[in-house]
Structure 1
Amino acid sequence: MAQADTIVVLDFETTGLSPDNGDRAIEIGAVKLERGEVVDRFQALMNPGRSVTAFIEDYTGISNTMLAEADSCAEVMDRFADFIQDYNLVAHNASFDQRFLDAELSRISRSYNGQFSCSLLAARRVFQQAPNHKLGTLVNYTNIPSSGDFHRALYDSEMTVKVWLKILEAIEQQYGLSDIPFSLLQKLNKTPKKSIHQWLLRQGESA
């Protein structure tokens, strides 16, 4: 059974909010975890074939000059498809990243077998007292040391890894669940917040 601590955590920086509107990926960052230990990383800028806006340049720190020198989206995503292999995938606000992953891979006729889970949805359920569930807020809330630049893909992936492991640690400590399966996190994310405590108690009792 696939474990929740053996995953690829990924993050995209993009030209906008939706591939359905023609937006493209401009950077991918990812961290590969096995049994909670980082075993590999992936980071690459990618040239979307057109300019990014001043807003995106300011938001991400990724300039058109940087992108002009980068490999094409097709080249980078082909390498990334090899990187993720059959691992399950996690992202913070996963619906966003999954849309871009699916869109970019479909352009090059590549796919993946792993399933997605969302650290944002999990944090909303496990860390209900947090002021909000933005990645930077959760890093502070869980006392994770932080010194880099949010909105760069690899750094955001690194921080998401740490938040994800804090979520697993909290579930283990509070409910006695160890060797947590990936499927449990997927179910947790679909369980209403008000029901989480009782639901996790039941999972601990039946483990």
Structure 2
Amino acid sequence: MEKFTAVILDFETTGLSPGYGDRAIEIGAVLIRNNQVVDRFQSLMNPGKRISGFIEDYTGITNEMLSKAPSAAHVMEQFASFIAGHNLVAHNASFDRRFLDAELSRIGRTRTREFACSMLAARRIYPDAPSHRLETLVSHLGLQTDGLFHRALADAEMTAQLWTAMIGEIKGTYRLKEVSFDLLQSLAGVAKRAVPAYLERVAVGQ
């Protein structure tokens, strides 16, 4: 059932790019199997450097909290085990992929599975949404939320809800029996106007 299993993850970070020295400060993730959350992972992670006042205000994560957090290396060893063997999903996946790869590299580990981007998929499944930012989609679709954004586990939970909502939307609209990780991943390479015909062909093939 691997094609119906994925780890949906989110990082909070010190900035926008590990290439400029930015680090992860929190990881949150949920493991979904057959559209059900079956496990969770969350931890602050001490990056070994202070974070800016802007990041403190944006995330609610403070330097004091990080000073008491386990090291990034320790957290990433645990997280590498959590994601082992699973497909990966993130909203704006290029961002989280860069940080995941950078933090894994620091401990001599590499990612073995590919990412799907829930934002790119949502652009094709919900083309008329006001925007495709996570919080906008959550509001637009009426998904359950505790109102907390920019904390890793909360964002991962909401992305998981979006992911399962998109699966339901595809099944309902195109009468597909199954919607796999590979299918949602493939939507990123399909032109928006071509998505209906593409999914109709998939339905016929099932």
Deviation digits for residues 124-155 of structure 1 (CA, Å, limit 9, x no counterpart)? 00001100001011111111122231000000
Match of 1:159 in 2: 158
Partner-residue secondary structure (3-state), 1:189: helix
Match of 1:34 in 2: 33
TM-score by length of 2: 0.97
Residue identity opposite 1:14 in structure 2: T
Alignment partners' CA distance in 2, 1:178 and 1:30: 27
Partner-residue secondary structure (3-state), 2:146: coil
Aligned CA RMSD, in angstroms, stands at: 1.0
Match of 1:147 in 2: 146
Question: Following TM superposition, by how much is the alpha carbon of 1:200 offset from its aligned partner in structure 2, in angstroms?
Answer: 0.9
Match of 1:113 in 2: 112
- Superposed, 1:48-197 pairs within 5 Å as 48-197=47-196
Please tell me whether the aligned partners of residues 86 and 112 of structure 1 are also in contact (alpha carbons under 8 angstroms).
no
Moved over 4 A (4+): none
Residue identity opposite 1:2 in structure 2: E
The number of residue pairs the alignment matches comes to 206
Partner-residue secondary structure (3-state), 2:69: coil
Alignment partners' CA distance in 2, 1:71 and 1:43: 12
Long gaps (5+) in structure 2: none
Match of 1:2 in 2: 2
Question: Following TM superposition, by how much is the alpha carbon of 1:205 offset from its aligned partner in structure 2, in angstroms?
Answer: 1.1
Deviation digits for residues 19-72 of structure 1 (CA, Å, limit 9, x no counterpart)? 000000000000001111111100000011010000000000000000000011
Question: Following TM superposition, by how much is the alpha carbon of 1:178 offset from its aligned partner in structure 2, in angstroms?
Answer: 2.5
Partner-residue secondary structure (3-state), 1:7: strand
Partner-residue secondary structure (3-state), 2:103: helix
Residue identity opposite 2:38 in structure 1: V
Question: Following TM superposition, by how much is the alpha carbon of 1:108 offset from its aligned partner in structure 2, in angstroms?
Answer: 0.3
Seq. identity, %: 54
